[in-house]
Amino acid sequence: MFRHKAFSGISLTQQFGRAGGYGYNKPFGHPAKTRLTVFDAQVKRSITLGEVVCELSLVEAGFVRNEQGIYKSPVDTRDYRVVHLPNGLRVLLVSDATTDQAAASMCVHVGAWFDPPELPGLAHFCEHMLFLGTEKYPEENNYSAYLSSHGGGCNAFTAAENTVYFFEIRHEHLSHILDRFAQFFIAPLFTPSATARETLAVDSENKKNLQADVWRLNQLQKHLASKDHPYSKFSTGNAETLGTKPAAAGIDVRAELLKFHEQYYSANQMQLVIVGREDLDTLQKWTEEKFTPAKNNNRERIVFNGKPFTAEQLGTRVHALPVKDVRQLHMSWYLPSTVKEYRKKPDHYIAHLLGHEGPGSVLALVKGKGWATALVAGPEDMAALDFSHFKVKLDLTAEGLEHVDDIVAIVYQYIAMMTEAGPQQWIWEESAKLDFMQALFKDKERAGSTATGLSLSMGIGPLADDWIVLGAHIMDQYDPTLIKSLLAILANPANMRLTIVAKGLKVDSVEPWYGTDYSVQPIAPELLKSWASLPKNPDLALPPVNEFVPTDFELKTPPIPVSVSKDIAPTLIEEGQIKIWHKMDTSFNVPKGAIFFDISAPICYITPENNILNSIYTKMIVASLNEYSYAAELTGSEFKLDSTTTGLQLMSRGYSHKLLTLVERILHRIGDYKTVLNPEMFTVYRDKARRTYENYMQGMAAYMAIYNASMCSELNRWHVDQSAKACPEVTYEDLCNFAPQLLKHLNFEILVFGNITKEDALSLKEIIRRHFNSLPLASVPRVRRVILPSETETHCVRENRILGDKNTSVTNVYQIGRCSYRLHALAELVQTIMSEPLFTLLRTQEQLGYIVQSRVKVDGGVLTVQVIVQSERAPEYLDQRVEFFVSTLPQIIADLSEETFTGFVDSLVSKCLEDDKSMIEQAMRYWEQIFGGSYRFHSSRAMAQVLKNTTKADVLEFVATYITDSPQRCKLSSRITVNDSTTDTGSSNADNQAERVEEKEAKEAKGEEEKAAPADATATTSTTSTTTHTPEKEDKKAAKAVVLVGDFDEFKATLCTYPAPAYEVEDLS
């Protein structure tokens, strides 16, 4: 896969077209031609580093220009205007007459590279502090509380050279929140009390990432960089760099924050995007009123000249030990920055070829040898003005780890082939046109995503005003000289850094910030020389012409407004073994479609072994399709095939013209198991499955608490530990026996949505008949959930699997019951009201941890409200603080003014009635109902009707019944404790494990510490024990007995279950 510059690692649905009829219908030119059929190529003068050989016409391609000359897609109904305020602030205004949400995003040209040497993490700390009060709005939670009560949300992130702040809110409240947002950049307070407390939040955020391999490897590369370049800095900050060390050195951190903001937050180095329903003149008036006071100190844009690695630091081999069991090979080059070359994107051409997955590609060759399973190539997600980090990353097999030098040699053989052949204009033209397709038929994004993406694009590079909307997405100038200059750097192995990540490598050093074990050695000169002069490899070739490029862009029916379309549900047009739901929809004015399959096969999950075999078989199917499915993916037709607890799920989307062709190929491969089965690939994917299972429980503490909570309530679910244990035992012979059994009895439930006719949808029945001889199932399996007991309180306590990780977590699940429109509406309203005060109390004021959140979940038709906290405090204490907040919730609700309460209700009603933003968003909304078995296609509209008649008394009754400690409450507290052990006792007594966890929990409640052995292999299969805690042993508020979950299955076997969701005719009267 190639990593596109604008989207870094995200697989693109590249698309192209030209106006004609209802939609677009224009063929591609033949690649052998030197000029495009659709576009006129023009020879241009030399520009910067290279020479433009041809330039594509955006107007002839189908793009339009608005009154200000800004290029955009003809299906983009938004209008744009660039405004330059007197203080130097550059603003892009986006008027969208149909948007339900408004948004804004500010990108400031200051980031982690600007940190003073004595205060690592200061830029990130400054980002945190801007949310905690300004001179005009001094209350710490004023900004977040206003957003929360008006259907909004916010966030921010600090990058190397930029910091981005953004929010989204109901459109009618844009003016008021803009006034609050503007004060971030005019007069923030940085109060002493908030500064002291927020240091702990930054520290908690850093600790959250300490065991995450992606963070560890990123910091390792920075640690090994030249200390003369800011790339080498530690950017997050922690309690030591922002607290103890500066205090010992006599540094006033608050004074430094004020100084930092004053120096770097200059209006002429900011880029603002505002999206609203108002017209452009109104948006401009608000912008000028609210943001003109931002100070301009005429700061020049800082460019950190130099290279992050010296010549001596290149040509090296790094070994790094991961936390999880992964095997990776990273080849890194540091190229001249191409940020200013946004119309050429020369690295895009190189990434397209090195990351290709079709016949003749690097991946096809190394995968065929059994050395790797995936490859990604392209610039890293860090745009800098002085260099670009280009990387080829491969996921290795066990055998591939033994052939690292051979894999590197193959990459260099491909680079040599590219260099000798020279840049191919037809390849560039095809790639450029695919980019045009993507931009012309780009799905409409939410207001928040639009604002954030555009502000970041404006902040990263010098986009001209007319290219401000499209600049990150397309290229129109072919410059082979510039491509050659970058290839020349890649072709010299002495310019490369090689990093191998795997367990068991020899290491001799420790990175100081994250504790990563590593070693670094120069690559032998003889080896570098050999890589530079390799013979041609006959198995490598440039990609062929893409056969999946669509040529028919006609809409099958005239589009209708989305506001009308959203209330038209899919129709069941075929029943029986093959059930087909269909909705023809062109309301988004794009010639795209989506086809989703739920393939039911109960045999796939009856044992852990079958679950493993189903997963392996699914991955082998995808791998066998890769060489031509990748070509389809490049043109916008992509698919995802997953194993599920009930069978297989196939999700495909893209241009309706070629989508059915792709789907039939996939179905053919699923049904023709003999072409999939391969003993060598089985070994590769069994190993990958084993590592996936083992790595899963090494995840973040909060994720593990959520997972265990689900294990406590979902019936017939195998724990990943059971799968990890069984995985090495399954054999290729088992798979050969499993595959035909899997296909013997199948049911299909399908959603066909978008620019696809009913006739084409019904043709899927015949396609399935051609490729499957399956018998129908007597019944279709559905996920079931247990009814948690109300007479007791359920605790599930497990230890953190990562030794040395001090993070703990609590997920408190308040089970409401079988989901109805009324209960769901009330749960969403309660969660909306409680989210901000919960965050303010536990995160901002008490600083329990970086992760504090609440959410509503519907799984298997069962409704829950959940509170999630990750911390370093004892889980028992976290539960007590959550319960304290819960006890105050009735008073919080009672104290709401009628105006404020009505605001919460109105915002939630508006959210329920929002138009879908894109074809895929609407398709996914329908699929969620079909796949879950509830078929409530109009659930949002029904909830809105309930909410309009909801009173404060209704909400208080709901909270009193289901959330606060009441006789009817059904509560599960899933807890992750710190693993303090350094050795495994080898104990296999499950009862002892349950007792040990229970005793430890009780001691933690008293603030005591205990050294305990880690959970052994039977930790998740211990017996369920029930204990009545005395006030001395438990918080005095807890009057109920506590059920401590040992074995998940034994616990669930004692409980009744909710009925599975079933189709019901919706009554919206």
Question: 817 in helix, strand or coil?
Answer: strand
How far, CA to CA in Å, does 547 sit from each of 378, 627, 660, 665? Answer: 24, 12, 14, 14
Cβ contacts of residue 1056 below 8 Å, gap of 6+?
A: 786, 787
Residue type, 506: K
Per the residue annotation, which of 55, 127, 627, 714 is the catalytic one? 127
Most distant pair of Cα atoms in the chain: their distance: 85
Asked whether the beta carbons of 267 and 185 are under 8 A apart, the reply is yes
Angle ∠(394,400,401) on CA atoms, nearest 5? 90
String of DSSP letters for 625-645: HHHHHHHHHHTT-EEEEEE-S
Angle ∠(10,354,414) on CA atoms, nearest 5? 170
Helix (H) or strand (E) holding 71: strand 71-72
Report the length, in residues, of the chain.
1069
Question: What is the rounded (10 degree) CA torsion for 65, 70, 74, 76?
Answer: -150
Residue type, 513: W
Distance CA 348, CA 475 (A): 9
Question: 420 in helix, strand or coil?
Answer: helix
Distance CA 883, CA 795 (A): 14
Asked whether the beta carbons of 995 and 1025 are under 8 A apart, the reply is yes
Residue from 952, 357, 283, 1045 nearest 709 by CA: 1045
Question: 598 in helix, strand or coil?
Answer: strand
Residue from 779, 788, 775 nearest 709 by CA: 788
Sheet of 851-859, strand order: 851-859, 862-871, 808-818, 970-977, 792-799, 1041-1044, 1025-1027
Beta pairing partners, 273: 92, 105
DSSP state of 728: G
Question: 595 in helix, strand or coil?
Answer: strand
Question: 232 in helix, strand or coil?
Answer: helix
Asked whether the beta carbons of 356 and 489 are under 8 A apart, the reply is no
Residue type, 1059: P
Asked whether the beta carbons of 154 and 272 are under 8 A apart, the reply is no
Residue type, 302: I
Looking up tokens 């004015």 gives 589
Phi and psi at residue 980, in whole multiples of 5°?
-85, -5
Side-chain half-sphere exposure of 616, counting CA atoms within 13 A: 33
Token pair in block for residue 700? 């973040």
Beta pairing partners, 971: 814
String of DSSP letters for 969-1033: -EEEEEEEE----SS------HHHHHHHHHHHHHHHHTT-----PPP-TTGGGPPPEEE---TTT
Residue type, 669: R
How far, CA to CA in Å, does 107 sit from each of 165, 185, 452? Answer: 7, 11, 8
Helix (H) or strand (E) holding 320: strand 316-320
Distance CA 1027, CA 1022 (A): 15
Number of H helices, E strands in the chain: 34, 34
Residue 278 designated active-site: no
Active site residues: 127
